[in-house]
Each structure stands twice: as structure tokens, then as C-alpha cells.
């Protein structure tokens, strides 16, 4: 590309690198706990072995701006990217020719709310934004928020809302990036209602695009099917689906070694990073 490249990485735990730990610190995968990630040796291991770093190396990026957050929603991904672009004057005409944005979209059912109690912490600061996971029953530590979770799940959690929001977010961010002349590539990290993921049977993963309503279909069809990797082949085109299909069902434990949690190891990240680079190269995206 002829100049210093900055790779901006957006996504959830699959981008951040959850569960990427040095095998020497966890010789028995059955003993894995999230606490292992905070060991200094594993912080370095994660940063060096996640697909974001490997992809950056492949495209010759000299700088990585990591906007990923474990467990976040697509609401968070959109908001964080917009804030970063605004804070760095890219919304005011600053030259974007050295930027490459990589987005790994997450589960559309996750949704953000802002709470005055500021119950979460981001970057060491109290934060009012929190992510609600309809699929799971979380203990917020505040009875009123637990009640809100119950009300939301029973009355407001539905495909029409979250699929409309997801399709709209993709279209809006894509339109913005194109208007700003920012090179980008995006993909779906995972999405199969946790059925395929929890059973480790990728063949049982559902085609999430089947859930797009007729009112959203024209928006979905307008989304760039090249810059959104495997947009119309979601079962094996997600990060999860691709690496699972790559190794085969009989070898699935080779990339998902930890039985009680569900993120890929270094091999899985390597497979996806190489695929991303070849895909971008073949489609002249960079």
C-alpha cells in the first residue's frame, strides 16, 4: 500500500483473543480458567497469537488500534468505532488513506443500555453502558436490573428487533466507511444461537440469514458481499464456522481445546488470519 498502515480492530472476545493462553501454563485443557489470561506471560501470548496481530503482520501494518472488548455487543462495536473516528478527527476530513478497519460482528441478540448507577468498568473507569445477554441469566448485583432483564427477555427480546438492528448497523457502518474512503473488511465471528457452539457440532449451526425479515431483506442485499466475508454463506463463513469446517468435526478439539468455554486457540486464530489475508488479497480489498 506504500505507506504506514494502521489496522483498527473491532469485535468481541473472538477478536480480543479470549482463551488464548500459553499451553505451558495450562497443560491440561480441562483445568482452564479465565484467571489464566491475566498472567503476564499469557497477556503477551494472547497479543502475539490472536488473528488481529497475525493479520496485521500479513498486511504490513505498523500499528494496531485494538477496539475489541470481550463479551461486547454490536452496539458496543458501532459506538466504540464511531467514538474513535470522531476523537481522531476522521469525521472532520482527516486523511484516511493509511487506515484498514477489520470488524468481527458478534451475536445480534446482545443489546446495550445505559444505566445511571454505572455498574460496569471500562479502562479502569466507571461506565454506565452495560451489555444485556438475553440468552443467559446474569447476576447484575442490583435486583432492579435483574428484574429489568426478566422483563426484557419476556416482552422485548424478539428476532424482528435484533435482526433489524444488526442489519442496520452493518449497513450504516459500511456506508460510513465507504464515504470516508476507509479500506475495510468485516465478518461474522459466530452466530448460531449457541447450539452449534455448545455442542461443538458445527454442522448443527443455523443459517442466521434465514431470520432476516422481508422488510430488512433489501438492506441486507445492499450490503457489500465482498467486503463482508462469506456474507451469503454464513454457516461455514463465520470465523467459528470456517475454522471448524477447515479442521473437520473429528478434529474440532484441536482448535477448541477448553471443554467448558468456547473460543479458539492459537491454531484457530492462525487458520482464520491466513484465510482473511488470502481473501483480502484475492479480492483486492487492501
Longest CA–CA separation in the chain, Å: 56
Half-sphere exposure of 222 (CA within 13 A, CB side): 14
CATH fold of the domain at 5-109+159-282: Rossmann fold (3.40.50)
Q: Phi and psi of 164, rounded to 5°?
A: -65, -45
| Rounded Cα distance, 80 and 254, in Å | 33
Q: Is the pLDDT of residue 139 over 80?
A: no
Q: What is the pLDDT of residue 194?
A: 42
Of 193, 3, 24, 34, nearest to 100 by C-alpha is 3
Residue 218 has a pLDDT of: 92
Rg of the chain on CA atoms, in Å: 19
Instruction: Specify the residue for cell string 458501532.
Output: 78
Give, in degrees to the nearest 5, the angle at Cα 120 between 118 and 123: 110
What share of the chain in percent tops pLDDT 90? 61
Stretch (H or E) spanning 104: strand 99-105
Checking if the pLDDT of 29 tops 50, the result is yes
Model-level pTM? 0.91
**Segment 104-122 mean pLDDT:** 81
Domain ranges of the chain: 5-109+159-282, 113-156
Overall average pLDDT of the 175-192 stretch: 93
pLDDT at 234 (0 to 100)? 66
Place of cell 446482545: 110
CA distances to 128, 131, 257 from 121, in Å: 8, 12, 30
Instruction: Identify the residue whose cell numbers are 468456547.
Output: 262
Reduce the DSSP state of residue 67 to 3 states and report it. Answer: coil
Return the residue matching grid coordinates 479442521: 247
Of the given ranges (127-136, 164-173, 205-214, 262-271), which has the lowest mean pLDDT? 205-214
- What pLDDT was estimated at residue 212? 80
236: pLDDT strictly greater than 70: yes
Kindly report, residue by residue over 199-227, the tens digit of the pLDDT: 334 444 456 677 788 888 899 999 999 99
Q: Give the torsion sign (CA, 74, 80, 86, 91).
A: negative
Amino acid at each position: 500500500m506504500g505507506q504506514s498502515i494502521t489496522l483498527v480492530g473491532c469485535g468481541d472476545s473472538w477478536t480480543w483473543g479470549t482463551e488464548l493462553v500459553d499451553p505451558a501454563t495450562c497443560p491440561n485443557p480441562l483445568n482452564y480458567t479465565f484467571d489464566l489470561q491475566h498472567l503476564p506471560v499469557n497477556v503477551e501470548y494472547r497479543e502475539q497469537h490472536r488473528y488481529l496481530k497475525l493479520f496485521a503482520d500479513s498486511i504490513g501494518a505498523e500499528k494496531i488500534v485494538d477496539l475489541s472488548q470481550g463479551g461486547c455487543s454490536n452496539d458496543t462495536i458501532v459506538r466504540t468505532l464511531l467514538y474513535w473516528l470522531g476523537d481522531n478527527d476522521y469525521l472532520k476530513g482527516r486523511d484516511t488513506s493509511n487506515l484498514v478497519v477489520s470488524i468481527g460482528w458478534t451475536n445480534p441478540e446482545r443489546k446495550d443500555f445505559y444505566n445511571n448507577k454505572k455498574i460496569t468498568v471500562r479502562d479502569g473507569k466507571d461506565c454506565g453502558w452495560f451489555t444485556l445477554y438475553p440468552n443467559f441469566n446474569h447476576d447484575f448485583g442490583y435486583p432492579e436490573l435483574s428484574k429489568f432483564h426478566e422483563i426484557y427477555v419476556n416482552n422485548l427480546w424478539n428476532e424482528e428487533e435484533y435482526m433489524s438492528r444488526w442489519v442496520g448497523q452493518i449497513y450504516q457502518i459500511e456506508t460510513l466507511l465507504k464515504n470516508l474512503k476507509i479500506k475495510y473488511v468485516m465478518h461474522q465471528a459466530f452466530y448460531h444461537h449457541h447450539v452449534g457452539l455448545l455442542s461443538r457440532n458445527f454442522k448443527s449451526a443455523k443459517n442466521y440469514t434465514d431470520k432476516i425479515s422481508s422488510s430488512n431483506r433489501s438492506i441486507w442485499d445492499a450490503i457489500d458481499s465482498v467486503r463482508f466475508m462469506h456474507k451469503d454463506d454464513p454457516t461455514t463463513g463465520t470465523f467459528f464456522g470456517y475454522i471448524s469446517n477447515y479442521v473437520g468435526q473429528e478434529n474440532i478439539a484441536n482448535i477448541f481445546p477448553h471443554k467448558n468455554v468456547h473460543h479458539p486457540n492459537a491454531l484457530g486464530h492462525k487458520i482464520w488470519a491466513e484465510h482473511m489475508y488470502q481473501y483480502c488479497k484475492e479480492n483486492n480489498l487492501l
